[in-house]
Amino acid sequence: MDSDSAKKDIKNARGMLYLCATPIGNLKDITERVKETLGAVDIIAAEDTRNSIRLLNHFGIKTPMTSYHEHNKYDKADTLIAQMMDGKDVALITDAGTPAISDPGEVLVRRCHEEGITVTSLPGACACITALTLSGLNTRRFVFEGFLPYDKKERQSVMESLKDEHRTVIMYEAPHHLKKTLSDLIDTIGDRRLTICRELTKKFESVTPTTLGEAVSYYEDNEPRGEYVLVIEGRDPGEIERDRQKIWEDMSVEDHMALYLDAGMDRKEAMKKVASDRGVSKREIYEKYSKKTS
């Protein structure tokens, strides 16, 4: 047997990883392909087997389960990799939605790629995309932040990075952290339009277009309940540009030029940069700078 044939046989002997999206609320949102796959694989790796057993029982799926979660994602990934190398097929499911999105599944997927194990994704429910489509905010460009970090310094760093984010921002939040998150957001990025999506696809689903300020006031008197997706309006690019230009208003043109000349730029390039900073023509900078330095 030549080496290419041997490699092909080894590859074919390996199992696969199937990323199976599960419902985020309404059980009817599971796909036929996911049900068939969960019933056909050798093992189902679940974020919480106690939660997932209800889903499997509902659809009469008897496949053995094993736990795969945040606290065992590295060691368990090695175990699952070994089983797939031995020819077993593994399905990965999260408590709700698409695996590997704000989920330890990303570690397992990366390890599969490193070991040459085939990974496929069976699409379905995803809370962040569902919320975005319901939000009424700009859907053309967006960023997904997942859950904000718990570490205070890291959390503040993420929020600071959102100050000038002009794309729509999506994040998840648990009810017991919602009030603090809303308060921190308005303190850091200011008041913005916001759509609060709660209990998506479930009986008591609610979608509330509001603002960060109004939301902070509302939850002072109302206790958050259920799981939340926050869809936050991005900052107006024009406003960002105006603020950027204001930085230079208190600096004279000659001082502004000196900033770049001292950094090693030639006169022509410095004028071009100053004009760009101030949002004016290069000719205007030339005239002002020439008068002051003539």
Q: How far apart are CA 66 and CA 279, in angstroms?
A: 59
Specify the residue for token string 């919480």: 48
In sign, the C-alpha dihedral spanning 253, 258, 260, 265 is positive
pLDDT digits (tens, 9 = 90+) for 59-71: 999 999 999 999 9
pTM greater than the 0.75 cutoff: yes
Q: How far apart are CA 22 and CA 92, in angstroms?
A: 10
- 291: confidence class by pLDDT, cuts 50, 70, 90: low
Q: d(Cα 44, Cα 67) in Å, to the nearest integer?
A: 8
pLDDT at residue 8 greater than cutoff 60: no
The pLDDT tens digits of the residues spanning 239-263 come to 776 766 667 777 777 778 778 777 8
Burial label for 30, CB within 10 Å (0-12, 13-18, 19+), is: buried
Q: Please give the Cα distance from 129 to 103 (Å, whole number).
A: 16
| Total length of the chain | 294
pLDDT higher than threshold 50 for residue 115: yes
Structure tokens of 256?
């502004």
Query: Buried (b) or exposed (e) across 169-189, using 16+ Cβ within 10 A?
Result: bbbbbeeebbbebbeebbeeb
pLDDT confidence of residue 238: 74
For residue 1, what pLDDT is reported? 39
Which helix (H) or strand (E) segment holds residue 244: the answer is helix 237-246
Mean of per-residue pLDDT scores for the chain: 90
User: Measured between alpha carbons, how far apart are the two ends of the chain, in Å?
Assistant: 84
Mean pLDDT of 222-248: 85
